Structure 1
């Protein structure tokens, strides 16, 4: 497994896709979640996400499209990128949708606390609207330049 650190995450092959996904999410809202980012990147389908939320899937990683080391790398990159954007982290609890007892949902088979927190950590935009617009424009310009150079791969 490739180790993602604060010094290497921008060189990771998933970094451009994470930046693009977060940019697209920030266009519509001030909250970025790892689950939303995985959906925007194409590593989690809306259908599978909804099945997990309804309790039909025991843990989210079962329906992740890709291997689990890829998921862990993406989670780390999301955290580093959100930190660079000065977004505030906040743990959010996910509960089963529907009637009946509100069961807390699990993201991983192991239930490892740190991994569960990484999946459930939302990042809140806490700066001006103008700064948000400037950041989004910069991220999209970087992505367009990378695409022109052939550095972006398809989702």
Structure 2
């Protein structure tokens, strides 16, 4: 998949997620783009997979480009970024989950940032006046 193809796919899938959920998360986006399965994410959430990139389809350069394109999409759509902490599910101690092999804080931040639609002033005005 070329960089242009990635960008088109990110914009298309992110728009769908935003319409469906009111926010876009990188994990949901990668599932929608067929780069991850829900089963793989669940196994990662339960600690059976040490880091999410291990099972994500695509090389690290393309994954990074996907995340950068999502950030660009979020700026264009004026979405609010929201850092999300992913903790292990299941019994026992809850530990933070890793997305990348290296645990690089910048990359971990890119994976864990959700982008949320903010209520427009018009929606707020309609509610307060209605």
Choose the corresponding residue for 1:44, options 33, 36, 46: 36
**TM-aligned CA deviation for residue 27 of structure 1:** 2.2
C-alpha root-mean-square deviation of aligned residues, in Å? 1.8
Point out where structure 2 has 5 or more consecutive residues left out of the alignment. 124-130
* Structure 2 equivalent of residue 75 of structure 1: 67
CA–CA distance in structure 2, aligned partners of residues 26 and 111 of structure 1? 28
**Deviating more after overlay: 72-81 vs 16-25:** 16-25
Aligned to 2:127: none
1:19-30 pair list within 5 angstroms: 19-30=11-22
List gaps (5 residues or longer) in structure 1: 3-10, 132-155
CA distance in 1, matches of 2:46, 2:107: 21
Does residue 110 of structure 1 match 2:110?
A: no
Deviations 1:69-103 (A, max 9, x none): 11000000000101100000011000011122111
Residue aligning to 2:9: 17
Distance 1:94 1:47 in 2: 16
Which residue of 81, 84, 90 corresponds with 2:76?
84
Runs of 4+ in structure 1 over 6 Å off: none
Q: CA deviation at 1:29?
A: 1.1
Report what 2:116 is aligned to: 124
Alignment of 1:57-68 (within 5 A): 57-68=49-60
Query: Could you state the TM-score of these two structures normalised by the residue count of structure 1?
Result: 0.74
For residues 74 and 127 of structure 1, the distance between their equivalents in structure 2, rounded to whole angstroms, comes to 26
- Give the length in aligned residue pairs: 121
Structure 2: distance between partners of 1:54 and 1:21: 26
- Normalising by the residue count of structure 2, what TM-score does the alignment of the two structures yield? 0.87
Specify the alignment match of 2:128 in structure 1: none
